[in-house]
């Protein structure tokens, strides 16, 4: 059994091939530093011969002092028409001035003959010349055996010969790639075991997720003797993505008893979020281990059990990977959900009070409300039902005007608000739509009484039609996500009138901010 597994991150190369993702050189430097501090062994930085951005990144990265990670440039074997010493890709790998380089070559006869258009013998010469050239220049070579598992199945002897050639030429690692992402764990494990018996070089695995098996295939490879796993943070990658290191790392450490170089596994969730932010993509909340929903409990029976012993419905403690438990409230909730959620919000409730809150919640959700994604509105609801007299302002009335002139359509909203002392503020504001105008007018009026309102900005606005059969008369649910730069919160409003639903969510958002400000938790 391999006790220590090396982690090889290819987020900056394979992950950059994700549809809609593009890393600048500065982005790549930030991710490199973050992965180094997290404890990744190898960080594949990109393809320096393919574009100026990657070339600039490797030049800038030479000035960074890494404490753990080895930066690795990536490239293909040489072209069949030139020797390695004259090949542009080979030279760019050397010019990156790194200890390690990663070069991929064809190990599937189909690709050699069809994709490259060369003979199988010529392909072996290309592999040998490329690896030996890099090794002769003092580079430690990681050989990615592209399409290895497909080649191993189609022409077993040739795929194995390609590995043997790379090893004899000086490859330190032989990484077996499921490039099309279509192999099964049993096939991967069988192939890895054979390679381990036949080759002395270290064996790695590089899996794609086209069959939703990249993580399973990677773990199967480790069980069979692989000592390196390649993957990306959050499973980024072309098509369906690469093996997700955020699932592989905790599985290796917590479930398989393997050692890795990760220093603090509790930094995993923060690392996943950081990479998501830099890549400018929303993190899938259902991602295992690091997703927002990974340890979220909604069913009443589940919550009751988890409160007694988290092991009943959690496979690991959420804090071990830097995540946290969440108790959701909905029509499926039990009293335990309500009491646990109230306690989480700093509100102590008796069981009888919990039941009354639950009944009110079920009544409101039957009308279209949904509180599991709108925890700020839920807290306000609980406090109102408790009789807490918190009404920082009252909306006395509002009007909205829509002006259509030619191709342009503008909206104006006027509002009248009253503070607890009876002071009245009447103001108006323009907007690019009625909801935007109403939002701006309401905040403009309240800033006179509560200056902290100016820090709030709306960052997301979602409308959901509850019963589409009713067409334009349908009830709609509006979710509004707001931030003041310190905290972020979500509120909900429901009505047959989209303006009213939006207004209800807006008022909750403002009241929630003022509640937290008065409690010393806001800005």
DSSP labels for 264-297? -GGGHHHHHHHHHHHHT-PPPTT-TTTSTTTTEE
pLDDT digits (tens, 9 = 90+) for 266-281: 999 999 999 999 998 8
Q: How far apart are CA 362 and CA 337, in angstroms?
A: 13
Residue 499 buriedness (CB in 10 A; 0-12 / 13-18 / 19+): middle
Contact indicator for 412, 438 with CB cutoff of 8 Å: no
**252-257: Cβ within 8 A, 24+ apart:** 252/5, 252/219, 252/222, 254/316, 254/320, 256/219, 256/222, 256/223
Q: Is 336 helix (H, G, I), strand (E, B) or coil?
A: helix
Q: What is the mean pLDDT of residues 102-121?
A: 96
| pLDDT value, residue 523 | 43
| pLDDT value, residue 350 | 59
Q: How far apart are CA 207 and CA 192, in angstroms?
A: 13
Domains of the chain: 6-279 (3.20.20.70), 296-366 (no CATH), 394-518 (3.30.160.270)
Give the residue, 361 or 432, on which the prediction is more confident: 432
Contact indicator for 364, 492 with CB cutoff of 8 Å: no
Give the residue, 467 or 35, on which the prediction is more confident: 35
The CA-based angle 448-452-458, given to 5 degrees, is 105
Q: How far apart are CA 77 and CA 259, in angstroms?
A: 32
pLDDT digits (tens, 9 = 90+) for 346-356: 666 656 666 77
pLDDT digits (tens, 9 = 90+) for 392-409: 999 999 999 988 777 778
Q: How far apart are CA 287 and CA 293, in angstroms?
A: 8
State the average pLDDT for the chain.
Answer: 91
Q: What is the mean pLDDT of residues 201-221?
A: 98
Q: How far apart are CA 234 and CA 286, in angstroms?
A: 11
Q: What is the mean pLDDT of residues 162-172?
A: 98
| pLDDT value, residue 362 | 77
Please spell the DSSP secondary structure of 58-81, one letter per residue.
HHHHTTS--SSPEEEEEEEPPPTT
Q: How far apart are CA 210 and CA 239, in angstroms?
A: 7
378: Cα separation from own chain's centroid: 26
Please spell the DSSP secondary structure of 396-434, one letter per residue.
EEEEEEEEEETTEEEEEEEEEEE-TT--EEEEEEEESSH
DSSP label at 349? -
Q: How far apart are CA 231 and CA 44, in angstroms?
A: 10
Q: What is the mean pLDDT of residues 8-37?
A: 96
pLDDT digits (tens, 9 = 90+) for 417-461: 999 999 999 999 998 888 889 999 999 999 989 999 888 988 889
The confidence band for 469, taking pLDDT boundaries of 50, 70 and 90, is low
Quote the crossing angle between the two packed helices 434-446 and 498-518, to the nearest 10°.
30
Residue 422 buriedness (CB in 10 A; 0-12 / 13-18 / 19+): exposed
Residue 415 has pLDDT above 80, yes or no: yes
Residue 26 has pLDDT above 80, yes or no: yes
| pLDDT value, residue 46 | 95
Residue 497 has pLDDT above 70, yes or no: yes
Neighbours of 167 (CB within 10 A): 20
| pLDDT value, residue 260 | 98
Residue 194 has pLDDT above 70, yes or no: yes
Q: Which residues contact 308 (CB under 8 A, 6 or more apart)?
A: none
């Amino acid at each position: 059994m391999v006790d220590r597994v090396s982690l090889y991150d290819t987020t900056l190369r394979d992950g950059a091939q994700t549809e809609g993702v593009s890393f600048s050189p500065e982005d790549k430097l930030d991710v490199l530093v973050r992965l180094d501090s997290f404890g990744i062994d190898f960080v594949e930085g990109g393809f320096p011969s393919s574009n100026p951005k990657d070339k600039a990144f490797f030049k800038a990265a030479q000035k960074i002092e890494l404490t753990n990670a080895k930066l690795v440039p990536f490239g293909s074997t040489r072209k069949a028409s030139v020797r390695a010493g004259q090949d542009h890709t080979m030279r760019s790998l050397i010019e990156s001035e790194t200890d390690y380089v990663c070069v991929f070559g064809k190990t599937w006869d189909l690709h050699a003959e069809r994709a490259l258009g060369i003979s199988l013998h010529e392909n072996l010469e290309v592999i040998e010349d490329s690896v030996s050239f890099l090794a002769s220049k003092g580079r430690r070579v990681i050989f990615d055996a592209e399409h290895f598992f497909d080649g191993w199945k189609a022409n077993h002897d040739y795929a194995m010969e390609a590995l043997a050639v790379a090893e004899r030429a000086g490859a330190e690692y032989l990484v077996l790639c499921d490039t099309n992402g279509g192999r099964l764990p049993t096939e991967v494990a069988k192939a890895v075991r054979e390679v381990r018996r036949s080759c002395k070089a270290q064996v790695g695995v590089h899996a794609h997720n086209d069959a939703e098996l990249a993580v399973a295939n990677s773990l199967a490879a480790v069980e069979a003797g692989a000592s390196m796993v390649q993957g990306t943070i959050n499973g980024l990658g072309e098509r369906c993505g690469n093996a997700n290191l955020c699932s592989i790392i905790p599985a290796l450490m917590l479930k398989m008893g393997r050692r890795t170089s990760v220093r603090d596994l509790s930094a995993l969730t923060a690392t996943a979020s950081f990479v998501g932010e830099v890549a400018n993509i929303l993190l899938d909340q259902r991602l295992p281990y690091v997703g927002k929903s990974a340890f979220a409990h909604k069913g009443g029976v589940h919550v009751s059990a988890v409160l007694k012993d988290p092991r009943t419905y959690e496979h690991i403690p959420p804090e071990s990977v830097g995540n946290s438990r969440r108790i959701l409230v909905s029509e499926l909730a039990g009293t335990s959900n309500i009491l646990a959620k109230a306690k989480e919000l700093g509100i102590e409730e008796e069981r009888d009070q919990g039941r009354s809150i639950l009944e009110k919640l079920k009544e409101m959700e039957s009308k279209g409300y949904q509180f599991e994604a709108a925890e700020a509105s839920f807290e306000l609801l609980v406090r109102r039902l408790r009789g807490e007299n918190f009404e920082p302002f009252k909306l006395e009335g509002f009007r909205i005007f829509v002006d259509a002139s030619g191709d342009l359509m503008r909206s104006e909203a006027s509002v009248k608000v009253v503070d607890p002392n009876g002071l009245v503020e009447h103001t108006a504001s323009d907007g690019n739509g009625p909801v935007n105008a109403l939002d701006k007018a309401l905040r403009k009026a309240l800033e006179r009484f509560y200056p902290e309102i100016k820090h709030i900005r709306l960052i997301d606005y979602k409308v959901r039609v509850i019963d589409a059969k009713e067409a334009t008369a349908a009830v709609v649910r509006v979710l509004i996500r707001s931030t003041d730069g310190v905290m972020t919160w979500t509120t909900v409003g429901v009505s047959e009138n989209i303006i009213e639903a939006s207004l209800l969510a807006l008022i909750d958002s403002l009241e929630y901010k003022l509640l937290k400000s008065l409690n010393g938790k806001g800005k």
